[in-house]
Amino acid sequence: AQKVTQAQTEISVVEKEDVTLDCVYETRDTTYYLFWYKQPPSGELVFLIRRNSFDEQNEISGRYSWNFQKSTSSFNFTITASQVVDSAVYFCALRNLSGYSTLTFGKGTMLLVSP
C-alpha cells in the first residue's frame, strides 16, 4: 500500500515570504515517481514537477524548488518570494511503476498569499 501525507492543511503567508510545503510518502516499491500539482481557484490541476526515485538531486525552477530526501521519504516544495498568484491548493502525489501506475495523492495544502 502507498500513502502520501501532507500534514499542513492550510498555510497563510504575506507576499514575498518564503514558504515550504511538506510532503511525506510511504511505499514498498523501490522505483517510483513523485509529483507536485497546483490547483488554483479555477479548479484545474496543473502539473508542476515529476521526480523519479533514483534522482535525489534538488531542483529549482524560478521561484520554485524541490527537496527530495529518500532517507526521510520526503519531497518538500518551497516557494521563494511568494506572490498572490501562488494562492492555490498544492497536491503531492506518488506513482509506483508496478501495477497500473495510478496516482496516490495527499490531501493537499491550501496556500493563501495575501498582499
Partner 1 sequence: GAGVSQSPSNKVTEKGKDVELRCDPISGHTALYWYRQSLGQGLEFLIYFQGNSAPDKSGLPSDRFSAERTGGSVSTLTIQRTQQEDSAVYLCASSLARQTYEQYFGPGTRLTVT
Task: Return the residue matching grid coordinates 506513482.
Answer: 95
4-43 residues in contact with partner 1 (CB under 8 A) are 33, 35, 37, 42-43
Cell numbers placing 43: 479548479
Give yes or no for residue 105 binding partner 1 (CB under 8 A).
yes
Closest CA to 27 of 4, 10, 54: 4
Q: Hey, which residues does 1 pair with through a beta bridge?
A: none
Q: Binder to partner 1 among 91, 111, 113, 114 (CB under 8 A)?
A: 91
Interface with partner 1 includes 45 (CB under 8 A)?
Answer: yes
Supply the minimum distance, in Å, between the C-beta of residue 50 and partner 1.
Answer: 5
State which residue, 27 or 82, has the beta carbon closest to partner 1: 27
Residue 72 has phi, psi (to 5 degrees) of -110, 5
Q: Which is nearer to partner 1, 11 or 45 (CB)?
A: 45
Rounded to a whole number of angstroms, the minimum distance from the CB of residue 76 to partner 1 is: 18
Number of Cβ within a 10 Å radius of residue 49: 16
Q: How far apart are CA 75 and CA 60, in angstroms?
A: 13
Question: Where on the chain is the footprint of partner 1 (CB under 8 A)?
Answer: 33, 35, 37, 42-47, 50, 52, 91, 93, 97, 99-108
